[in-house]
Amino acid sequence: MNLRIPGPIPVPDDILDVMSSPMINHRGSDFKDILYRVTSNLKQVFETESDMYILTSSGTGAMEAAVTNTLSPGDQVLCASIGSFGNRFGQIAETFGANVTMLNFPAGTAVDLDRLRNQLMEAPETKAVLVTHNETNTGVTNDLEAICSVVKGEFDKLLLVDGISSVCSIPLRTDEWGCDVVVSASQKGWMLPPGLAFISFSERAWSANAEAKMPRFYFDVSQYKKYYEMGQPPWTPALSPIFALDYSLSKVLAEGIGSVYKRHVEIAQMTREGIKSLGLSIFPDESIASNTVTAVKVPEGIDADHIRKIVSSKGNVILAGAYGELTGKMFRIGHMGYVSPQEINHMLEVLGEALQEIGIS
C-alpha cells in the first residue's frame, strides 16, 4: 500500500519493529530513563527549553490541553483560522467557555497579518490567540514567525499553536518566535503510529495556568509537571509508541533536524511539480503551499473522491479527501516523515493512469 494521507503516515519498518517491544513498569527506573531522554530530545526538535509533556491522545486532545490549561471561562480569545483544524481549535475554546472571536480566512489562503493586527487593536481585551501552523485540510502553511511577531512582538498576547502537522517536518522555532504552547502528534512527521501527542509549555503559559479556571483532569499539565519530577507520567502512558518515539528521535537527531526539513522541502517540491505536470493544480498559492501535505484541485465537474477510488483500486495508492465545503473538489497527498522519491513517483504514475481513464490528461 502507498499510504499518502496526511497522517497516519507509513511508519518505516525499523520503527514498527520497536512497537512490539515488551512492556515494562511505567513507574520504574527504566522508564524514567526513557522518559527523560525522550523529553530532552523532543525539546530539541521543538527548539524549546520550556517544559514538554507526552500525552496519550490524538492531537485534538493536546489542543484541548493547550486551551484548558491556560484559559478561564469568559476569557476573550482570538482564533485565527485558515481551515477546519483552525475552526476546531476555536470550537474547543468555545466548548470550555471562552468568548471566541473567529478570524476566518478563505480556504486556501494564509493568515493575513493586517487583519490579524486590526483585530487585536480592536479587541485589546484579547487574552490569547490560537493559530494553526500548518492547515492539513487546505495544504497551507502559515508564516508563523510573522504571526508571532505580531501576536507577541506587537501585542504580547498568550499564543497557543497547533503544530500537529508541522513540528519535526517544517521549522517551528518555539522559543525564538515566542510560542507559549505548541502541540504536535505522533502520526505526523515523527514517523510513528498515532496515539501520542506532545505539548510544550512556556513560563508565560505557566503564569496563565496559575489563573486558568477551565476544568481539566486527564489533560491537567500541573499533574504532569508533578509526576515528571519523579520520572513518570500521572496516568499509565502508551508505552509502545514512546519506545518507538525514543528510537525515531534518535534517528531524527542523528540525521540532523536541518536535513529532515530539507528532505520535506524537496519531496514537497517534487510532488507539486509532478501534480502540475499531470495537468492538475495546487489548491493554495504555491508561496504558501505546505511541505507536509499537498492539496490538489481537480477540474470543474470532476469528483475528486472518484479519482481517489480509482487510484486506490488501480495501484493501492491511498489519498485523502477534503472536509467540509471542499469535499469532492480536491484531494490531498501526505508527504511527511520519511518519504522516498520512489513512493511519490509511484503515486504520480498511478494518478496519471487514473486521469487518463476518466479522460483528463
Closest CB 256 distance from its own copies, rounded Å: 25
Q: How far is CA 260 from CA 16, 27, 141, 320, in A?
A: 19, 33, 17, 23
Instruction: Look at the alpha carbons of 103, 77, 50, 203 in this order and tell me if their dihedral is positive or negative.
Output: positive
Q: Which is nearer to its own copies, 22 or 106 (CB)?
A: 22
Closest CB 326 distance from its own copies, rounded Å: 15
DSSP summary character for residue 285: -
- Output the DSSP codes for 193-216: -SSEEEEEE-HHHHHHHHH--S--
Return the closest-CA partner of residue 98 out of 65, 135, 126, 62.
Answer: 126
Only one residue has cell 527506573, namely: 29
Amino acid at 195: G
CA distance 306 to 351: 12
CA distance 191 to 279: 31
Contact 166, 265 (CB under 8 A): no
Closest CB 70 distance from its own copies, rounded Å: 15
Q: Which is nearer to its own copies, 23 or 254 (CB)?
A: 23
Closest CB 165 distance from its own copies, rounded Å: 11
Closest CB 100 distance from its own copies, rounded Å: 13
Q: Which is nearer to its own copies, 71 or 120 (CB)?
A: 71
The residues binding its own copies (CB under 8 A) are: 1, 3, 5, 7-11, 16-17, 19-28, 56-61, 64, 91-92, 95-97, 185, 187, 193-195, 214-219, 234-241, 318, 320-321
Contact 10, 3 (CB under 8 A): yes
Q: Which is nearer to its own copies, 23 or 210 (CB)?
A: 23
Q: Which is nearer to its own copies, 92 or 275 (CB)?
A: 92
Burial 318-343 (b: 16+ CB within 10 A, else e): bbbbbeeebebbbbbbbbbbbbeeeb
Closest CB 359 distance from its own copies, rounded Å: 26
Q: Which is nearer to its own copies, 147 or 238 (CB)?
A: 238
Q: Which is nearer to its own copies, 187 or 248 (CB)?
A: 187
Q: Which is nearer to its own copies, 10 or 284 (CB)?
A: 10
Closest CB 194 distance from its own copies, rounded Å: 5
Closest CB 160 distance from its own copies, rounded Å: 14
How is residue 243 written as a grid cell? 519506545
Contact 338, 270 (CB under 8 A): no
Let me know how long the chain is. 361
Contact 105, 81 (CB under 8 A): yes
